[in-house]
Structure 1
Amino acid sequence: MYKNVSLADQVYDVIEQKILNGDYPAGEVLSESRLTEELGVSRTPIREALARLQNEKLVETSAAGTVVLGITGQDVKDMYEIKRYLEPHVCSLAIDRISEEALKRMEEIVEQQEFYEMKHNLDQLRNLDTQFHDIIYSSCGSPIFQSVLSPIHHKLLKYRKASLENSDRSLHSVEEHRAIYEAIKEKDKKRVEELMTNHINHAYDSIRKGA
């Protein structure tokens, strides 16, 4: 189960996913012994993962143990506000800096998304969605913007699992990616900022409406 990246990182990803999708609801106590049994790992990577989750305000330590804080509607709203203010500008920056190799990879990702959308393969769509946005972040020329946007997008994508299961939103998201890619390829800054703003608004609306 746990390969390639560190064990603590893998454990962190699993626990974070369970918190964001509600398997570990707010108020639930997560003991090390329980997590050791559920995940089949030792206490050391679990402690490292819980410390990281505490730093990110997803859990807190109390007299009862490690308690899930979860992610609130206000948290989601705030994260989308950050994306709304920064990501269109980051797309514009990426137009001036993106390599031919990265642009080609974006095209491949969109084509793969179109294929997996027809297959209704949510896991592949989410993975490709992350790759698509990460290419934009890494191509903007600012490690600061990348370090802010990348973890936010990853968190929201895990939280958005239910909305992506809606076939209409899933299809529209892929179509929006195609349009964003085309605008970047054509170096149309005004257009790409407009498209990314709409993409972010549509994603947030799908969550707010419970789609």
Structure 2
Amino acid sequence: MAAIKKSSLVDQVYETLRGEIITLQRPLGSRLNVNELQGELQVSCTPIREAVNRLQQEGLVRYQANVGASVLSLDAHDVEEIEYLAVTLHCAAARLALTRCDTDFLAGQLEKHLEDYRKAKSVNAQVMAVNHFIGVFYHNCGNRRLDDSMISIQGQQLLLRYLYATQGADRDRDEADYAAILAAVRQGDADSVCRILTENAARSSAAILSHLDA
């Protein structure tokens, strides 16, 4: 892990640790020892503690008295809660975006990210294409509080997407789902968009839970 240069130190430590957690470079449930992180990142304990506090607020880190901070661990209940909340927000954003925006405009944005997904050669590119695809609805929903609500759990959902992408993703079926969402947007059919989002989340959750149970 590369040493961090001394500018916007807390932000840099936060982004570094967040990226490593989301991309599973730091395993689920692993301890975050401040002294060890000082050696790895070559910074003092203060920015590390502040960054860890931010990650705790985001739900990517958990703190236990007499134990300390650790990367969150996931069980079936956690996965179901995160996915349920995420899909609920996705559907709300999609419905609002379809109400507010021209369907051709939305479809054009979605099509670009669907093409990025099709061309993705790495897990990171694949996950980010999906994140940007869904993000089209949030960027165009016109509801800042809804957008903020998604941001508050985005790290957890990105973590689930990485787990899914590395542990049993069915890219052909997912691509078909995203293409079907695009077609539904062109038709202005919010109900179909939400149905497909829900079905896709259920399938990815099943794959993640199968991995966690292994």
With the length of structure 2 as denominator, give the TM-score of the two structures.
0.79
Q: Partner letter of residue 158 of structure 1?
A: L
- C-alpha change, 1:9 and 1:186, in structure 2 (3 Å) is farther
CA distance in 1, matches of 2:46, 2:109: 38
What's the offset of the Cα at 1:122? 1.0
Could you tell me how far apart the structure 1 residues matched to 2:204 and 2:168 are?
13
1:114 and 2:118 matched: yes
Secondary structure (helix, strand or coil) at the match of 1:209 reads helix
Corresponding residue for 1:186?
187
Q: Contact between 1:130 and 1:153, CA under 8 Å: does it hold in 2?
A: no
In the alignment, residue 141 of structure 1 is paired with which amino acid?
A: G
* C-alpha separation in 2, matches of 1:24 and 1:204: 19
> How far is 1:44 from its partner?
3.8
1:106–1:42 CA distance, 2 compared to 1 (3 A): farther
Distance of aligned partners of 1:197 and 1:45 in 2 relative to their CA distance in 1, 3 Å threshold: same
Quote the residue 1:71 is aligned against.
Answer: 73
Question: C-alpha distance in 1, partners of 2:42/2:108?
Answer: 40
Matched, 1:97 2:97: no
Structure 2 equivalent of residue 195 of structure 1: 196
Among 5, 14, 17, which residue is 2:16 paired with? Answer: 14
- 1:33 deviates by 2.5
CA RMSD, 1 decimal: 3.0
Worse-matched range after superposition: 198-207 or 36-45: 36-45
Give 1:168 deviation, angstroms. Answer: 4.9
Tell me how far apart the structure 1 counterparts of residues 27 and 57 of structure 2 sit (CA, whole Å): 18
| Structure 2 CA distance for partners of 1:130 and 1:42, relative to 1, 3 Å | farther
Q: Distance between the aligned counterparts of 2:138 and 2:145, measured in 1?
A: 10
2:165 and 2:98 map into 1 onto residues whose CA distance is 27
Letter in 2 for 1:93: L
Q: Give distance in 2, aligned partners of 1:92 and 1:63.
A: 46
Contact 1:24 1:68 in 2 (8 A): no
Asked if 1:82 is matched to 2:85, the reply is yes
Give the aligned residue type for 2:123.
L
SS in 2 for 1:26: coil
Instruction: Please state whether the residue corresponding to 2:72 is helix, strand or coil.
Output: coil
Query: Could you list the runs of 5+ residues in structure 1 that have no partner in the other structure?
Result: none
- Number of the residue aligned with 1:208: 209
The aligned residue for residue 23 of structure 1 is 26
Moved more, 12-21 or 41-50: 12-21
Contact 1:183/1:192 (8 A) holds in 2? yes
Note closer, same or farther for the CA distance 1:182–1:165 as it changes in structure 2 (3 Å cut).
same
Distance in 2, Cα, partners of 1:9 & 1:101: 34
- Which is further off, 90-99 or 158-167? 158-167
The aligned residue for residue 38 of structure 2 is 36
Q: Does residue 59 of structure 2 align to residue 50 of structure 1?
A: no
Contact 2:58/2:153 (<8 A) preserved: no
Change (3 A) 1:153 1:67: closer
**Distance apart, 1:207 and its partner CA:** 1.1
- Percent identity for Structure 1 against Structure 2: 23
Shift of 1:108: 1.0
Q: Which runs of 4+ in 1 moved over 3 A?
A: 16-20, 40-44, 61-64, 98-103
**1:164 Cα deviation after fit:** 0.8
Distance 1:72 1:178 in 2: 30
TM normalised by structure 1 equals 0.80
The total of aligned residue pairs comes to 205
